[in-house]
C-alpha cells in the first residue's frame, strides 16, 4: 500500500490549483493502473471533478445523421470505407433528426450533438443544424461533431446556432487515419477563432498505445483549452484491422480518465468518458453521451438498438457512482475554461506558468 511521495506531491499541487508538468504526467501514466498509488490518483480526480461540477453530472445526446463508406478511413471506425461495414450510404430524414433532438431535450439531455461522417456535405450539415436549432429551447447547447473546418465553415456553423464543436487529435492520427495531425490542430485553432468552444478527448485508446502517444495527446488537448476533456477506449468493430489488438479494460480506461482530469487542473468543469461506465464516473468523469442513429462503434444503423445507451441508462450509471444529474441546459458548454489563467492567479502560479509553456512532441508531417 505504498504511494510514492512524488505522486502525493503531484496530487497536492493540483488540489492547490496547479497544473502537472510533462514529467508529472509521464510518471502518472506509467503507474500500474491496479496499484494503490493509482487508486489515490483516481480518488483525487474524482474529488476534483465532483467539486468542479457541484456533483451534478451531465448527459449529452449525440444524434448520428448518416452512414457512408467514408474516405477518411479511420481504421477504428465502422464508417471507414476500408472496413466495409456500411457499403451503402444512408441518411436520417431531417424530420427524424428534429424529432429525436426535441424528444431528447424533453427527456433531460443537457446538450444536443449532431454527428456526421467526414465526407458529409457541410452545407447539408448546416441546413440540418439550423432546423434542429429552431425547434430546441434557446438555452439548450447545440454541438457539432463533423469533419475538419475552414474559417468559412466554422463561422457558418457558429451562425447556424452551434456553440461548440467536438474534435480530437486521435490516437494514430495520420497513421490509422487519412487525416494529418496538423489538419486537426488547425481545426482546433479555427474553431476558437470563430468563437466556438472545443470539446475533446484522448481517444480511441487501445492496448497497443504507448505512454508517449497518450501523453502527446493529453498535452495537445490541454494546449487547446477545451471546455471538456477526458478519455475513451477503442471499441473493436468486428472485422476491422485493429480488432487484433483487443480492448483496454474499463479499469484501465478509468485510470486514463483520472490522469486526463488531473492534467487540466481544478478549473475545468467537464471530464468525459465513453462509452458510459461506472468506473469512469468513479475516477473523474462527469459527462456521458447517450446515442441514437448511426454510431462509429456499432454495426447497426440505429445504435439505440445496439451499443448506444439512452438517457435513462446513463442516469442510472451516474446514480450508481453517487452523482446527481444536472437538470436543464449544460453548464460545461456555457462556462469557458480558465485553467491556466486561474491557476496563475493562485498560489501555484510559478509552476503553472512553467507547465503552460510545455509543447507537445513535434509532429511529423504526413
Domain annotation covers residue 100: yes
| Cβ-Cβ contacts under 8 Å for 288 (sequence gap 6 or more) | 57, 58, 59, 60, 272, 273, 274, 276, 281, 309, 314, 317, 318
> Quick one: residue 120, left, alpha or beta (phi over 0 = left, psi -120 to 50 = alpha)?
beta
183-192 — which CB contacts under 8 Å span 24+ positions? 183/148, 184/148, 185/220, 185/363, 186/148, 187/148, 187/149, 188/224, 190/149, 190/150, 190/151, 190/154, 191/149, 191/154, 191/165, 191/167, 192/224, 192/225
The predicted structure's pLDDT at residue 243:
87
Number of domains in the chain: 1
Residue numbers of the chain with a pLDDT score lower than 50:
345-366
Contact 278, 317 (CB under 8 A): yes
Contact (CB, 8 A) for 208 and 176? no
Q: What is the pTM of this model?
A: 0.92
Instruction: Indicate whether 363 belongs to any domain.
Output: no
Would you say residue 140 lies in a domain? yes
Sequence-separated (6 or more) residues with CB below 8 Å from residue 152: none
Residue 153, strand partner residues: none
Residue 241, domain member (yes or no): yes
DSSP-based three-state secondary structure for 287: strand
pLDDT digits (tens, 9 = 90+) for 139-182: 999 999 999 999 999 999 999 999 999 999 999 999 999 999 99
* Residue closest to 235 by CA, chosen among 244, 250, 247, 245: 247
The angle at the Cα of 246, spanning 86 to 362, to the nearest 5 degrees, equals 90
User: Could you give the angle at the alpha carbon of 50 between the alpha carbons of 199 and 287, nearest 5°?
Assistant: 30
Classify each residue of 111-131 as buried b or exposed e, where b means 16 or more C-beta atoms within 10 Å of its C-beta: bbbbbbbbebebeebbebbbe
- The 10s digit of each residue's pLDDT in 308-318 is 999 999 999 99
Tell me if 147 is assigned to some domain. yes
Contacts of 305 (CB under 8 A, 6+ apart): none
Beta-sheet pairing, 90-91 with 197-199: unpaired
pLDDT at 168: 97
Per-residue pLDDT, 362: 41
Answer yes or no: is 80 within a domain: yes
- Tell me if 175 is assigned to some domain: yes
pLDDT for 129 equals 98
Q: What is the C-alpha to C-alpha distance for residues 259 and 42, in angstroms, rounded to an integer?
A: 8
CATH number at residue 45: 3.20.20.70
Domain that holds residue 264: 5-356
Is 192 in a helix, a strand, or coil?
Answer: helix
Is the residue at 365 inside a domain? no
Amino acid at each position: 500500500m505504498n504511494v510514492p511521495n512524488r505522486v502525493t506531491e503531484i496530487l497536492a499541487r493540483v488540489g492547490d490549483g496547479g497544473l502537472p508538468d510533462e514529467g508529472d504526467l509521464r510518471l502518472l501514466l506509467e503507474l500500474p493502473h491496479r496499484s494503490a498509488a493509482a487508486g489515490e490518483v483516481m480518488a483525487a480526480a474524482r474529488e476534483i471533478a465532483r467539486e468542479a461540477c457541484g456533483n451534478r453530472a451531465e448527459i449529452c445526446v449525440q444524434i448520428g445523421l448518416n452512414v457512408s463508406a467514408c474516405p477518411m478511413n479511420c481504421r477504428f471506425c465502422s464508417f471507414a470505407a476500408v472496413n466495409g461495414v456500411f457499403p451503402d450510404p444512408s441518411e436520417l430524414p431531417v424530420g427524424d433528426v428534429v424529432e429525436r433532438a426535441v424528444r431528447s431535450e424533453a427527456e433531460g439531455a443537457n446538450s444536443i450533438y449532431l454527428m456526421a461522417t467526414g465526407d458529409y456535405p457541410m452545407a447539408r450539415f448546416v441546413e440540418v443544424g439550423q432546423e434542429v436549432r429552431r425547434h430546441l429551447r434557446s438555452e439548450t447547447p447545440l454541438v457539432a461533431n463533423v469533419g475538419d473546418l475552414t474559417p468559412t465553415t466554422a463561422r457558418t456553423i457558429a451562425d447556424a446556432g452551434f456553440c461548440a464543436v467536438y474534435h480530437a487529435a486521435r490516437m494514430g492520427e495520420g497513421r490509422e487515419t487519412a487525416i494529418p495531425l496538423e489538419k486537426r490542430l488547425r481545426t482546433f485553432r479555427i474553431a476558437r477563432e470563430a468563437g466556438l468552444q472545443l470539446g475533446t478527448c484522448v481517444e480511441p485508446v487501445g492496448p497497443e498505445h504507448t505512454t508517449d502517444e497518450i501523453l502527446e495527446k493529453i498535452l495537445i488537448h490541454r494546449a487547446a483549452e477545451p471546455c471538456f476533456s477526458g478519455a475513451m477506449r477503442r471499441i473493436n468493430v468486428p472485422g476491422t484491422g485493429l480488432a487484433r489488438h483487443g480492448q483496454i479494460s474499463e479499469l484501465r480506461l478509468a485510470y486514463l480518465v483520472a490522469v486526463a482530469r488531473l492534467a487540466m487542473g481544478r478549473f475545468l468543469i467537464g471530464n468525459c468518458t465513453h462509452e458510459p461506465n461506472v468506473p469512469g464516473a468513479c475516477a473523474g468523469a462527469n459527462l456521458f453521451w447517450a446515442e441514437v442513429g448511426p454510431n462509429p462503434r456499432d454495426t447497426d444503423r440505429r445504435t439505440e438498438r445496439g451499443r448506444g445507451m439512452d438517457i435513462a441508462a446513463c442516469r442510472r450509471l451516474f446514480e450508481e457512482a453517487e452523482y446527481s444529474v444536472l437538470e436543464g441546459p449544460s453548464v460545461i458548454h456555457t462556462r469557458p475554461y480558465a485553467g491556466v489563467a486561474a491557476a496563475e492567479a493562485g498560489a501555484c502560479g510559478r509552476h503553472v506558468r512553467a507547465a503552460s509553456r510545455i509543447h507537445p512532441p513535434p509532429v511529423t508531417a504526413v
